[in-house]
Structure 1
Amino acid sequence: MGTTLMTGASRGLGREAAEHLLRHHPDRHLLVFNRRPGLAAELAAVTGNRNVSEVVCDLASFADIRRAAAEVEGPLDGFLGNAGLQMATTRKLTADGFEMTFGVNVLAYHLLLNLLMPRFTNPARIVVVGSDVHDADLNTLGLIPPPRWDHPRELVKPGEDSAKEGRRAYATSKLGVIYLVHALRRRLPEGVDVYSYNPGLVPDTELSRDAGRFGRAAFRAVGKVLVAMPFATTSAAAGRLLAETMAGPRPGESGSYINKGVVVASSSESYDERREEELWATADDLCGLA
Structure 2
Amino acid sequence: MKHTIVMTGASRGIGRVAAEHILRRSPDVHLLVVARGSSGAQLAAELGAGGHTVSHVPADLGSLADVSSAAGKIRDRPDRGDLPPLRGFVGNAGMQYTNALTEGPDGFEATFAVNVLANHLFVRLFQDRFITPARIGVTVSDTHSGDFTHNMGMVPGPVWKSPGVLARTGVFTKRDTAVGGRTAYSTSKLAAIHLVHEYARRLPTGIDAVAYNPGFVPGTGLARNAGPVSRFAMRRIMPVMTLTPFATSRSAAGRYLADVVLGTTRAPTGSYVDRSRVDRSSQESYDPQRERELREAAERFTAAHAARADAISGDGTSGSPR
1:214-268: per-residue Cα shift (whole Å, max 9, x none)? 3312333441332222221111111011111111346222101011121111111
Q: Tell me the secondary structure at the aligned position of residue 118 of structure 1.
A: coil
Q: Tell me the secondary structure at the aligned position of residue 15 of structure 2.
A: helix
Structure 2 vs 1, CA of residues 138 and 191 (structure 1 numbering), >3 Å: closer, same or farther? farther
1:1-36: per-residue Cα shift (whole Å, max 9, x none)? 011110000000000000111122122111111113
Say whether residues 1:232 and 2:243 are aligned partners: no
1:134-154: per-residue Cα shift (whole Å, max 9, x none)? 112343222100110100111
Partner in structure 2 of residue 29 of structure 1: 30
Say whether residues 1:103 and 2:113 are aligned partners: yes
- Counting aligned pairs with the same residue, the percent is 49
Partner in structure 1 of residue 314 of structure 2: none
Question: Which residues of 2 match residues 135-146 of structure 1 at below 5 A?
Answer: 135-139=145-149, 140-146=151-157
Contact map agreement 2:239 2:249 (CA 8 A) in 1: no
Provide the TM-score with structure 2 as the length reference: 0.86
Question: Which residues of 2 match residues 139-288 of structure 1 at below 5 A?
Answer: 139=149, 140-159=151-170, 160-249=175-264, 251-288=266-303
Greater than 6 Å deviation, 4+ residue runs:
none
Higher helix share: 2
Letter in 1 for 2:155: I
Q: Tell me the secondary structure at the aligned position of residue 97 of structure 2.
A: coil
Among 62, 65, 68, the residue aligned to 1:63: 65
- Consecutive unaligned residues in structure 1, runs of 5 or more: none
Among 38, 44, 53, the residue aligned to 1:40: 44
Letter in 2 for 1:151: S
Provide the TM-score with structure 1 as the length reference: 0.95
Q: In the aligned structure 2, how far is the partner of 1:22 from the partner of 1:105? A: 25
Letter in 2 for 1:150: K
Q: In the aligned structure 2, how far is the partner of 1:233 from the partner of 1:269? A: 24
Contact map agreement 1:132 1:138 (CA 8 A) in 2: no
Q: In the aligned structure 1, how far is the partner of 2:230 from the partner of 2:264? A: 40
Question: Which residues of 2 match residues 78-89 of structure 1 at below 5 A?
Answer: 78-89=88-99
Contact map agreement 1:4 1:79 (CA 8 A) in 2: yes
Q: In the aligned structure 2, how far is the partner of 1:231 from the partner of 1:143? A: 12
Letter in 1 for 2:45: A
Contact map agreement 1:78 1:120 (CA 8 A) in 2: yes
- Consecutive unaligned residues in structure 2, runs of 5 or more: 79-84, 307-319
Q: In the aligned structure 2, how far is the partner of 1:97 from the partner of 1:123? A: 36
Q: In the aligned structure 1, how far is the partner of 2:54 from the partner of 2:147? A: 40
Q: Tell me the secondary structure at the aligned position of residue 164 of structure 2.
A: helix
Contact map agreement 1:26 1:49 (CA 8 A) in 2: no
Q: Tell me the secondary structure at the aligned position of residue 243 of structure 2.
A: coil
Partner in structure 1 of residue 315 of structure 2: none
Q: In the aligned structure 1, how far is the partner of 2:56 from the partner of 2:62? A: 18
Say whether residues 1:3 and 2:20 are aligned partners: no
1:185-218: per-residue Cα shift (whole Å, max 9, x none)? 1111111111000011111211100113333123
Q: In the aligned structure 1, how far is the partner of 2:213 from the partner of 2:69? A: 29
Q: Tell me the secondary structure at the aligned position of residue 245 of structure 1.
A: helix
1:70-93: per-residue Cα shift (whole Å, max 9, x none)? 111223111111000111111111
My pick for the range that moved more, 10-19 or 111-120, is 111-120
Q: In the aligned structure 2, how far is the partner of 1:195 from the partner of 1:231? A: 23
Letter in 2 for 1:41: A
Count of aligned pairs between the two proteins = 288
Partner in structure 2 of residue 125 of structure 1: 135
Structure 2 vs 1, CA of residues 250 and 207 (structure 1 numbering), >3 Å: closer, same or farther? closer
Letter in 2 for 1:125: R
